[in-house]
Structure 1
């Protein structure tokens, strides 16, 4: 069999086989997988661990997913279903819709920190129904704003890449904080002596610490940093539109 004839390995490309209705549904499998990921993280997720949590044998799971890679595709698409993007029919409000969509993506990542570590290795997850619906809504927003179809896709990619990058950083920080058993402010205060020592030979960072910029409410500070970058990204796209 040539390379061109070999089947593409993905849950979205595998032909569906007609079977009697199994006792365990795909929705149940995916929901439990998301719960396990939220509680225990990526390393804990395996077909065996999932089967144990569902009190089901491997045969029941493999009726719906061929392997762990397909399971990952399904759980990523599942959490993407939590993202909301407003109707983009009003070109005057495209920026408002883009902000709502971007903040919704960020919120999803922070609810499910594990997703950040999977986005670079999730096969063909972009073919999932929730991801396709999200892309369609975003395209509606940017095309209505006035971006040509090909450039609208590039604009969306730029915005989403920013959101995922920031969300990944935040998710890593929040995971570290959660492991400490303390709140963000308490953990930051405990960490401050080490930060001050590390910044001792770096005058700009030392000055920032002296101004107390890291002592603000950490949640508000994260929100402000995210929104600053997003606004500057959209400023650039808006300038592009006006040309």
Structure 2
């Protein structure tokens, strides 16, 4: 008997990814379709997020993209939460974790955070899934294990290092979520115009409007991550 989705999920948490048996399918003209597997579900889900954003990803939308019914998906994943966990796990698995170096630990942890940021930015809004990703998933645990090893190599106290990982990943998640909403926010010129129109009871905001709205690319990200890391010592 094939393992249930719940059993496969439990196995992923304990021993790594367990492949699900493919489900053979027939198309309308009796031609064969690509079998449904966990990997096929993940790949298709990423495609939807890349094109339409994370908010568009539902089990019904995913089933439509795979030309199947929702019940077929539940033969491979437990629920949407399980799917989110698989998506974040896939992204975390692609992050290159360096061998901890006491002399370069700051640059190493900055580099890992930047890799995670870049992975999330490939798929608009995907960091929303990271907020609920199970901490027992081996791929996500691999990332936190690597980050912990880097901070400990830098002689950071274990409790401080543990909370720093939480703070850094939360910031990366929030930064990427904000980036996915950028097209809904006013541009810098509009914000400057609004600041200039403020009454004189906001003297500092009006005087330093340029500084408050400055920064291109990932300037603010780099500043914040380094600020957090420098505060650990």
How does the TM-score come out when normalised to structure 1? 0.72
CA–CA separation in structure 2 for the residues paired with 1:104 and 1:18? 27
CA–CA separation in structure 1 for the residues paired with 2:177 and 2:198? 23
- The structure-2 alpha-carbon separation of the partners of 1:197 and 1:227, relative to structure 1 and needing over 3 Å to count, comes to same
- Which structure is higher in helix share? 1
- The aligned residue for residue 207 of structure 2 is 207
Q: Is residue 102 from structure 1 mapped to residue 110 from structure 2 by the alignment? A: no
Q: Is residue 232 from structure 1 mapped to residue 223 from structure 2 by the alignment? A: no
CA–CA separation in structure 2 for the residues paired with 1:19 and 1:75? 16
- The aligned residue for residue 93 of structure 1 is 104
* Match 2:55 to one of 40, 43, 48: 43
Any idea what the Cα deviations from partners look like across 1:47-81, whole Å, max 9, x if unmatched?
22111111223343122112222212222222233
Any idea what the Cα deviations from partners look like across 1:130-163, whole Å, max 9, x if unmatched?
2121112112212222235444322322332333
> Does the aligned pair in 1 maintain the 2:125–2:177 contact within 8 Å?
no
- The aligned residue for residue 13 of structure 1 is 10
Cα deviation for residue 166 of structure 1 reads: 3.4
- The structure-2 alpha-carbon separation of the partners of 1:214 and 1:119, relative to structure 1 and needing over 3 Å to count, comes to same
* Match 2:169 to one of 160, 165, 182: 160
- The aligned residue for residue 117 of structure 1 is 128
Q: Is residue 147 from structure 1 mapped to residue 144 from structure 2 by the alignment? A: no
Q: RMSD value over aligned CA atoms?
A: 3.1
In structure 2, stretches of 5+ residues that fail to align are 1-5, 24-34
* Match 1:84 to one of 61, 72, 96: 96
CA–CA separation in structure 1 for the residues paired with 2:122 and 2:144? 21
Any idea what the Cα deviations from partners look like across 1:178-207, whole Å, max 9, x if unmatched?
xx9xxxxxx433554334335764111101
> Does the aligned pair in 2 maintain the 1:38–1:114 contact within 8 Å?
no
CA–CA separation in structure 1 for the residues paired with 2:18 and 2:140? 23
* Match 2:81 to one of 69, 74, 78: 69
Cα deviation for residue 100 of structure 1 reads: 0.4
Q: Is residue 130 from structure 1 mapped to residue 139 from structure 2 by the alignment? A: yes
> Does the aligned pair in 2 maintain the 1:79–1:108 contact within 8 Å?
yes
CA–CA separation in structure 2 for the residues paired with 1:165 and 1:154? 16
Cα deviation for residue 86 of structure 1 reads: 2.0
